[in-house]
Structures are given as structure tokens and as C-alpha cells.
A and B are shown apart, each in its own frame.
Chain A
Amino acid sequence: MNRFENIYTENYRLIFNVVQKIIGNTEDASDIVQETFIVLYQALQKNTRIDYPRSWLYRVAVNRSIDYLKKQNRNGNIEQAKNIATEEHSFETTEQQKIVQQALMKLKPEEKTLAVLYSEGLSYKEMAEISGIKFTSIGKTLARTLKKLGNELKKLNYEMY
């Protein structure tokens, strides 16, 4: 198995989950993840130095997901995106999961990305590198984002502990 295949197998599920949580749609998530790995494949073909493939993949996938969300917003497809997030899952979702998706949809693309990366247990340094937010602003942005998410979850009667 070559280097690319190793990276692909080891990281596919991880990247897929991050993307589908950010965009709230599993079908388009597959396309974004495939495109992300195509970019990696081409970079490796050109002998581009990639020391940390996982961070690299996170960055490309996150940027593409943000572009996707912005395009959806520009095209006025917010309502459509919300419906996809709550109804058209090809994977089974519980009521609680639908509520979380709905609450996430209320966040701005950058806030949503930060919240998802935070839930992945990444450090502030990693989150800054991947999201492009200044390292010194991560704490403040995160506190504000979590508060906003918490309020949305409460409005939708999500069971908090």
C-alpha cells in the first residue's frame, strides 16, 4: 500500500464526519471529501512536502465546506440546506441529532467550523491553523460561539446535562 492509500484509509471517516457535521448533508459531504483527497493525491504526485497529512486534510476539507455553505447562502438555499440537514439524511438520525443540526445551522460558517473542530478535541493552535482564525482570538470566539450554540439548543429543548 502506498503513502496516499494509507492516508486515505486512515483519515477518510474522520474527514467525512467533520465535513458532514459542518455542512449538514451527507451526500454533498462525500463529494467534498473526494475532492479533498483528489487535491492531496495531486499534491503528492507533485512531490509537495506534507508533514502532517491529517492537519492538511482538515484545512482543505474545512475550507471547501465553508465555500459550500457560503455558496448555499448566496444562492438563497439556506432553507433548503436546513431541510437537507433535518430530513434528507441517508443515515438514520434521532430527534436529538436533528435538533443539534438545526442549532448548528443557526451559526455562521466560521463559527460552526470552530464548534465542530472543538468537538473533535483539537488544540487552540490546531484550530487556528485549520480555520484561519487568529490564535489569540480562539478563546474569545469559542466562548461566544458555544454560548450562541447553547442558547439555540435550549430554544429547541435539547436535553442538556
Chain B
Amino acid sequence: MKCISNKTIQKYIDNEISASKKSSIEKHLSECKICSEKMNNMKSLSVNAKQAIGSLNINNIEIPTFNYSKAQNKQRKIKYIIYSLSAACIIFFIFIFVDKKQEPCTETYSIVQSITWEADANQPFTNQNFAIEINDGKGNNTIIYLE
């Protein structure tokens, strides 16, 4: 058997190991001086640590009366927060909905450029007779003449 890991030794010390594994560990410990020494050190460390931390226990603790009103107030406070958040969400959604309804309707206009008569390239732009035809998408055409 290979030397035992710290994790396995710790589990062995704390009796958190299966019976079959325990016997093979014990066999190895009886044969390996290094592991046996390591196990003894870790065991003493565990005992010392438990004792040291245990020494911080306070024995004369007075149990205070439980503050029921504080517990109930806290519960009410949580309810209040939940209700407030719900109301805020509802207002927010209403706002979005109403805001969308009030949006102005957008209509599509298309401008079709058509030359009604031929332009005279020798004349300035202001002297050309151009017409702009506006189609509002519903079949209504408006023609604006540019002079």
C-alpha cells in the first residue's frame, strides 16, 4: 500500500472511513513509520484545535426575550416592499401601454419623380418646368409644379 494522504488520515482520525478501508489503513500505519508519525501529529493537532476553539465558549449567556413585534414588523416590511414593487410594475406597464397608444400614426408617402416634359439644358434651374408627384399610398396623387 502507498503512503496515506492527509485527507484519508484526517478521515481516519474522525472515524469517517469505511470498516474495510480502516483495517487496511491500520495495517499500513503499523508498517510505515512516516505515516504513523504523521497520523499522531494530525491527531494531536485535531485534539488541540478542538480544545482551543472550545475554550472560546461562553457559559453564562443570558437568553434574551424574543422580540416578536420586531419579527412581525419585519414581515410587514417585506410585504410592504412586495406590494410597492408590484404597484410600481403595474404603473410602469400601464405607462408603456398608454404611451404606445398615443404615438402618432405614421403614413408612408412616396415621391415619384417624373419629368412631364423635357428639360432644356441651356436654361437655369429656376427656368425649368419640373413637377413633383406625391403619392400618399392610398392612391391619392398630388402634383406640385416647380417653376
- At the interface, yes or no: B33 with Cβ under 8 Å from chain A? no
Cβ B52 vs Cβ A139 within 8 A: no
CA of A76 to CA of B83 in the docked complex: distance in angstroms? 36
Decide if the interface of chain A is mainly helix, strand, loop or mixed: helix
Question: Can you list, as one digit per residue, whether each of A97-118 has a CB less than 8 Å from chain B (1) or not (0)?
Answer: 1001101100000000001101
- Chain B residues, CB < 8 A from A26: 58
CA of A12 to CA of B11 in the docked complex: distance in angstroms? 30
CA of A5 to CA of B16 in the docked complex: distance in angstroms? 35
Which residues from 13 to 56 on chain B have a C-beta closer than 8 Å to any C-beta of chain A?
A: 14, 16, 42, 44-56
Known interface pairs A38-B71, A42-B71, A115-B53; A146-B61 also in contact (CB < 8 Å): no
- Chain A residues, CB < 8 A from B63: 8-9, 12-13
| B53 to A, closest residue via Cβ | A119
CA of A91 to CA of B56 in the docked complex: distance in angstroms? 10
Cβ B71 vs Cβ A139 within 8 A: no
Query: Which chain B residues have a beta carbon within 8 Å of chain A's beta carbons?
Result: 6-11, 14, 16, 42, 44-58, 60-61, 63-64, 66-68, 70-71, 74-75
> Can you report 25 residue pairs joining A to B where beta carbons are below 8 Å apart?
A5-B66, A12-B63, A16-B58, A17-B56, A20-B56, A20-B58, A21-B53, A21-B56, A34-B70, A37-B66, A41-B68, A42-B75, A91-B58, A100-B52, A118-B49, A118-B53, A119-B54, A139-B16, A143-B9, A147-B6, A150-B48, A150-B49, A153-B52, A161-B44, A161-B47
